Chains A and B, each alone.
Chain A
Amino acid sequence: MAKREYLKPTTLHEAVEILAAAPGRRIVAGGTDLMVYIREGKEAPAALVDVTAIPELNGVQKLGDGALAVGAAMTHSMIGSDPDIRAVAPVLSDASSSVGAVQIRNLATIGGNVVNGAVAADTLSALAVLDAAFLTFGPEGEKRYTIEEFFLAPGKTAVGVGEVLTKILIPAQPGASHAFIKVARRRAAAISRLAVSVIANPDGGYARIAVGAVLPKPGRITPAEEALKEGFDLAAAKAAGEAAKAHVLSISGERPSMVYKLPVVSSAVEKAVIKALSLREVK
């Protein structure tokens, strides 16, 4: 492996300056995506700029309205065990806890997961149902993106060269119940074949459903949400599953991997809804 510079700024401004100072400099957090690409020869940054020591990127802040601002450099281990996140967004706690295995979760950050933007990235469906927003800081100052604005295509986000993702904003979810399901070929260190995130609030009359690993970019599945709102019961859960399946089919089409995935979208969405609403005990 070629030798390259490794820089570790401790303020946001310093980071932005360093990134702009020379071409080919890349942000690194846990490195669990980037180092793999470098080893495979898919990326060859001139220098790595480690953003994990920047205070703004660390910790969870409670905002006035019960919302949370989650630092982009928080590792999946930290997110999985953070009591404030567990209280507001258990779907995210569970999603982060499903990433890789302990060793990976101790290094890998939510910011890296989000900016890397892989189709199968596990936090994305959770962030979609949470209606999360993204704060970045760069040469042009601070920017704020909705999830639709943020994810452009598989592996492509709105974060520009020289920009740092600083925080992920998670609105409060009063009275809602959550569920996250991940399906993979083994129980740890495996990429999702499918992930499902559900937030439902029968009293509030809303439901949010998103799936991971089967759509080009994260986003909610409105027809499934509508179907669930019909009754928040077992029949509605089933209908939500069917609607999600139809939606995925309309976007992703009949690829060979869909022979398995498509029917499972339907049954897994149904199961996630049942789990979220405790319509029956699900292990």
Chain B
Amino acid sequence: MSSLEKVVGVDGDRRDTLSKVTGRERFSGDYKVPGALALAIARSTEAHALIKNIDSSKAQALPWVVRVFTARDVPGENSYGIIPITKDQPMLAEGKVRFKGEAVALVAAETLEAAREAAALIRVDYEPLKASFTPEEALADGADKIHEKGNLCFEHDSLMGDPDKAFAEAAVVVEDTYTTSSIEHSYMEPESGFAVMEDDIVAVTVSTQNPHYDHADLCRLLGLENDKVRVKQATTGGGFGGKLDLSVHSYVALATLLTGRPSRLTYTREESFAASAKRHSFTMKYRTAADAEGNLLAVDAELIADTGAYASYGVAVAMRAAVHAAGPYMVPNSRVYSRAVYTNHVFSGAMRGFGVPQVALAHESQMEKIAAKLGIDPIELRLKNALKPGDKTITGQVLGDSVGIRECLEKIKAVRDGWGAAADDPDCFRGIGVGAMLYGIGNTGVSNPSTAQIRVNEAGGVTLYTGCADIGQGSDHALLAICAETLGLSREDIALVRADTKLTTNAGATSASRQTYISGNAVKDASEKFMAKAIEETAKITGKDIADLCFTGTGVKGAEREVTLTEIAESLKEQGNELIGEGYFDPETVPLDHHTGQGKPYSTYGFAAQLTRVHVDKATAEVKVEKLFAVHDIGKAIYPQGVIGQISGGSAMGVGLALMEEFDHASDKNFDTYLIPTVLDVPDVEASFIEHAEPTGPYGAKGVGEPALIPTAPAIVNAISDAVGVRITSLPANLERVHRALQLMGGK
């Protein structure tokens, strides 16, 4: 069914909509796995300690217990980690523990009750070490080393121009220190998965954002060859970066490999809180200089992030934060020093935005301070400094054509003028605030390719093979749209095989807002190659000229009759060939220089601005976000409803970051005390987008997953400051902090 209609840019129902709203969709924990062993993990009760002895005799002696595993049982290298240079995390603690909640031993039993009871009976003798709970403590003289190499996990320097001279000559210099909190991802589905032996292959079905990375580290941990491990992504109930690390995968794989029996594990919410990655808390010292007209001259930022006990994505977060430290503005001189520091908190990793939501609080607060000092309208100040095509970022990258920040700012300016002054109210203060951002699409300064294939299936139609994990954000739908548009089909005509390491090739992680742009390009490339190959072969079969032939979606026409895809495939097969389109895309990047931080970290950037109006209760300091308008330059909306969905959800997450989320490592065990926004806390988000087509993007697309969240918290904090006249520099802006601001205002 060749479709004359366009597919890209058009709404339609996602394949998973009905199954999800009716509850028919199967997540890892919903599968029946006959004969599966239940697993439970004994976790460290110490934040930092040497392990003197592990006594599992009582656990082992319990009825129904099959086996207890410790680090000694790990057949391969007992260390993993998503960044190749920092594989520092054991799947089961070896010799020492570095955070409370770290896995020390694994129990496999016939029932979950028995496994849990046994795990509770495992006795570990610890010799406590001095624990560090802040980067300052960890870096202080006399701190106990958390890792052999010391407590500095990673540092990154960036220098452009002559910041000292610029500060000396500036008309205004503003400075402040900003802090943000540790945050739990709070995906609805906790970590979950199961393993079975498929002949001599350990096959793991799991909730994940990154099946091919999982596969590689499982091979490493288990000491198995590539073809002896298979990872299948199950339908995944959210990730937000927290399902990029290994979690249950290694435990089910180990238990199944060593017992030969299927096994399964789903974290309780408490385990998920205790043992999964958190958003890095940051402390950010900023100085920003401008001339008397408000042109930015220089930024000097020192960033320090608590990466917890293991590196996870710490390197990427510290580096990306540094690259984005100046925001979407043209700043000719800059110095940024960024560090990720080990502490004895549960590890911090990737979370929607990789450090950029944190620096956005700082650069957007600094813009407000400059605007106030110079008496310039805050949106005008941003417009004056907003990046344009051809401008240089603080890594010296010359931007291409798709730079929509000005248009975003123009739009929010018009909306703000439309909102007008809010009505006077004796019980509250009202304020309006702006947040703006840029966000590099894809991994920072490294090759991060994606691949895809198109093949003919049994039914004579086409199947798209992609390694890209759809974690609920809708990449399946977007990639199918790109495939359908390119092949001239409708989405329904295309079969999809997704995120299974046996059947699909690496598409890289579903992170860094990269899949629509990078995997989208790989899919487009695959589709084009598939068509070209089909036409070429038809030319051979029919003796026609390639120029006279035309791909129809189900075959090729232009000869006496249409030649079907099946016929073309047969013909190629006879020659030992295959009708396949193999797609590849790797964004063009230049690694960042180790000393100056200069380079081309990303091939394209998303841009956005958001506007909020808040209401601050004079009596109680409660903040209500009354309105939120968001506009994002996404290049091209492949699936407009999906874009709006991402912006709405991201903004909701931004409300949490701004007003209430703060993971207390000592006391937050579950959602009883860890509060995230409810629907009543989030305003109706007026989400919109502009399309500054990216020439290297599939149909012009960039990405939106993380940008969605980034401007929200700064916009809210700036609105609070507009309302009460006092700036809050630490997130979350909770009741206590806003109340303190009200008191300070009263004192003025």
Enumerate chain A interface residues (CB-CB to B < 8 A). Answer: 36, 101, 181, 183, 185-190, 193-194, 259-260, 263-264, 267-268, 270-271, 280, 282-283
B672 to chain A, nearest CB (A): 8
Chain B contact residues: over half helix, strand or loop, or mixed?
loop
Stretch touching chain A among B191-199, B464-472, B477-485, B732-740: B732-740
A183 to chain B, nearest CB (A): 5
- Asked if residues A283 and B675 are in contact (CB atoms below 8 Å), the reply is no
Q: Compute how far the CA of A89 lies from the CA of B489 in the bound complex, rounded to whole angstroms.
A: 64
- Asked if residues B735 and A185 are in contact (CB atoms below 8 Å), the reply is yes
- Asked if residues A183 and B425 are in contact (CB atoms below 8 Å), the reply is no
Q: Do A101 and B678 form a contact, CB below 8 Å, given A263-B739, A271-B427, A283-B427?
A: yes
CB closest chain-A residue, reference B615: A283
In chain B, positions 672-722 with a C-beta closer than 8 Å to chain A are 672, 675, 677-681
- Asked if residues B620 and A187 are in contact (CB atoms below 8 Å), the reply is no
B142 at the interface (CB under 8 A from A): no
- Asked if residues B739 and A260 are in contact (CB atoms below 8 Å), the reply is yes
CB closest chain-B residue, reference A271: B619
A183 in complex: contacting residue of B427, B677, B735, CB < 8 Å: B735
Chain B residues near A101: list those with CB within 8 A: 678
Q: Compute how far the CA of A213 lies from the CA of B680 in the bound complex, rounded to whole angstroms.
A: 22
* CB < 8 Å A-B pair total: 53
**Can you offer 7 A-B residue contacts whose CB atoms are under 8 A?**
A183-B622, A186-B677, A186-B680, A186-B681, A264-B621, A271-B620, A283-B425
B112 to chain A, nearest CB (A): 11
Q: Compute how far the CA of A154 lies from the CA of B619 in the bound complex, rounded to whole angstroms.
A: 27
Chain B residues near A186: list those with CB within 8 A: 660, 675, 677-678, 680-681
Q: Compute how far the CA of A264 lies from the CA of B735 in the bound complex, rounded to whole angstroms.
A: 10
B618 at the interface (CB under 8 A from A): yes
- Asked if residues B621 and A185 are in contact (CB atoms below 8 Å), the reply is no
Chain B residues near A263: list those with CB within 8 A: 739, 743
Q: Compute how far the CA of A280 lies from the CA of B675 in the bound complex, rounded to whole angstroms.
A: 33
A113 to chain B, nearest CB (A): 17
Q: Do A280 and B426 form a contact, CB below 8 Å, given A187-B678, A188-B678, A264-B620?
A: yes
CB closest chain-B residue, reference A275: B427
- Asked if residues B427 and A185 are in contact (CB atoms below 8 Å), the reply is no
Chain B residues near A267: list those with CB within 8 A: 618-620
Of the candidates A188, A189, A260, A271, the one having the most CB atoms from chain B within 10 angstroms of its own CB is A260
- Asked if residues B619 and A188 are in contact (CB atoms below 8 Å), the reply is no
Q: Which 9 A-B pairs have the closest CB atoms?
A: A187-B680, A267-B619, A271-B619, A188-B678, A260-B736, A183-B620, A188-B680, A186-B681, A187-B681
Chain B residues near A282: list those with CB within 8 A: 427
Q: Compute how far the CA of A264 lies from the CA of B677 in the bound complex, rounded to whole angstroms.
A: 22
Q: Compute how far the CA of A194 lies from the CA of B621 in the bound complex, rounded to whole angstroms.
A: 12
Q: Do A259 and B736 form a contact, CB below 8 Å, given A264-B621, A268-B619?
A: yes
B486 to chain A, nearest CB (A): 45
- Asked if residues A190 and B622 are in contact (CB atoms below 8 Å), the reply is no
Chain B residues near A264: list those with CB within 8 A: 619-621, 739
Q: Compute how far the CA of A262 lies from the CA of B305 in the bound complex, rounded to whole angstroms.
A: 34
Q: Compute how far the CA of A185 lies from the CA of B734 in the bound complex, rounded to whole angstroms.
A: 7
Chain A residues near B425: list those with CB within 8 A: 283
Chain B residues near A194: list those with CB within 8 A: 620
- Asked if residues A270 and B660 are in contact (CB atoms below 8 Å), the reply is no
CB closest chain-A residue, reference B737: A260
Q: Compute how far the CA of A282 lies from the CA of B618 in the bound complex, rounded to whole angstroms.
A: 12
- Asked if residues A270 and B619 are in contact (CB atoms below 8 Å), the reply is yes
B735 in complex: contacting residue of A189, A193, A280, CB < 8 Å: A193
B733 to chain A, nearest CB (A): 12
- Asked if residues B739 and A190 are in contact (CB atoms below 8 Å), the reply is no
B623 to chain A, nearest CB (A): 11
A275 to chain B, nearest CB (A): 9
In chain B, positions 635-682 with a C-beta closer than 8 Å to chain A are 660, 672, 675, 677-681
B329 to chain A, nearest CB (A): 34
A35 to chain B, nearest CB (A): 12
Q: Compute how far the CA of A263 lies from the CA of B681 in the bound complex, rounded to whole angstroms.
A: 24
